[in-house]
Amino acid sequence: MTSVGIDAIEIHTGKLKLDLAETFAPEMGDDPEKYTKGLGLHASSFPDAYEDIVTMGANAAHRLLERKGLEPADVGRIDVATESAFDNSKPVSTYIAGCLEQVYDGDFHHANKGERKFACIAGTQSLDDAVNWILAGRNRGRGALVIATDTALYARDSSGEATQGAGAVAMWITEDPDIVELSTEQGYGSADETDFLKPNQQFPSVDGKRSMQVYLARMRESLQDFERATGASHPDDYAFIPFHTPFPGMVRKAAVLGYRHMIRGTDIEEELAADIGRQPRRERFDSDDAFEDAISEYVDGLTDTDAYREWYDAAIQPTLSISSQVGNWYTGSVHLARFSALKHAAENGIDLAGKRLLVASYGSGAQAEIHSETVQDGFTEAVAASTIDEQIEQRYDISFAEYEQVHDRHNHEKSVELEPFTQPDAEFVFDGWGPMNERKYTYVE
Ligand code: COA
Contact 113, 91 (CB under 8 A): yes
Mean pLDDT of 253-279: 96
pLDDT (mean) for 10-36: 98
Element (H, E) at 210: helix 208-230
What pTM was estimated for this model as a whole? Answer: 0.98
CA 68 – CA 8 distance, rounded (Å): 8
> Which amino acid, 416?
V
Distance 117 CA to ligand 1 centre (A): 26
Report the atom number in ligand 1 closest to the C-alpha of 244.
48
Say if ligand 1 is within 6 A of residue 37 CB: yes
Q: Whole-angstrom Cα distance, residue 132 to residue 112?
A: 14
Tell me which residue has its CA closest to atom 15 in ligand 1. Answer: 38
Cis peptide before 25 (omega within 30 of 0): no
* 417 Cα: distance to centroid of ligand 1 (angstroms): 33
Q: Is 214 in the pocket of ligand 1 (CB under 6 A)?
A: no
Gap from CA of 38 to ligand 1 centroid (Å): 6
The tens digit of pLDDT for each residue in 410-443 reads: 999 999 999 999 999 999 999 999 999 999 999 9
Residue 166 pLDDT > 80 = yes
Asked if pLDDT for residue 1 goes beyond 80, the answer is no
Ligand 1 midpoint to CA 16 (Å): 23
Q: Identify the pLDDT of residue 2.
A: 87
Section 24-40 average pLDDT: 98
Provide the residue type at 286 as one letter. Answer: D
Instruction: Give exposure, 277-295, as e/b (b: 16+ Cβ within 10 Å).
Output: eebbeeeeeeeeeebeebb
The answer to whether the CB of 367 is under 6 A from ligand 1 is: no
Both ends of the chain: CA-CA distance in Å? 44
pLDDT grade for 42, boundaries at 50, 70 and 90: very high
Ligand 1 contact, 34 CB (< 6 A): yes
3-state SS, one letter per residue, for 89-153: CCCHHHHHHHHHHCCCCCCCCCCEEEEECECECHHHHHHHHHHHHHHCCCCCCCEEEEEEEEEEC
Protein residue closest via CA to atom 19 of ligand 1: 38
Q: Burial, 36: exposed, middle or buried (Cβ in 10 Å; 0-12, 13-18, 19+)?
A: middle
Domain boundaries, the chain: 4-444
Alpha helices in 304-353 (DSSP H): 306-315, 323-326, 333-347
Q: Is the pLDDT of residue 122 over 80?
A: yes
Give dist(CA 369, CA 128) in Å, integer. Answer: 11
Q: Looking at ligand 1, which atom is closest to the CA of residue 247?
A: 44
Q: Per residue in 345-389, pLDDT tens? A: 999 999 999 999 999 999 999 999 999 999 999 999 999 999 999
User: Ligand 1: which atom is nearest the Cα of residue 364?
Assistant: 48
Going from the Cα of 363 to the center of ligand 1, the distance in angstroms, rounded, reads: 19
* pLDDT-based confidence at residue 151 (cuts at 50, 70, 90): very high
Three-state DSSP at 186 gives strand
In this prediction, residue 33 carries a pLDDT of 98
Residue range 318-339, pLDDT digits in tens: 999 999 999 999 999 999 999 9
Out of 156, 163, 257, mutate this one to test ligand 1's pocket (max ligand atoms within 8 Å of CB): namely: 163
Does 162 sit in the ligand 1 pocket, CB within 6 Å? Answer: yes
pLDDT of residue 262 exceeding 80: yes
Amino acid type, 426: A
Coil, strand or helix at 251: helix
Q: What is the chain's mean pLDDT, rounded? A: 97
E-state strands within 118-257: 143-152, 165-175, 180-190, 196-197, 205-206
Residue bearing the CA closest to ligand 1, atom 17: 38
Match domain 4-444 to its CATH number in 3.90.1150.10, 3.30.70.370, 3.40.47.10, 3.40.50.300.
Answer: 3.40.47.10
Model confidence pLDDT, tens digit, residues 57-84: 999 999 999 999 999 999 999 999 999 9
- Which helix (DSSP H) or strand (DSSP E) does residue 267 occupy? helix 267-276
Phi, psi of 203 (to 5 degrees): -95, 140
Which residue in 399, 392, 407, 420 sits closest to 19, CA to CA? Answer: 399
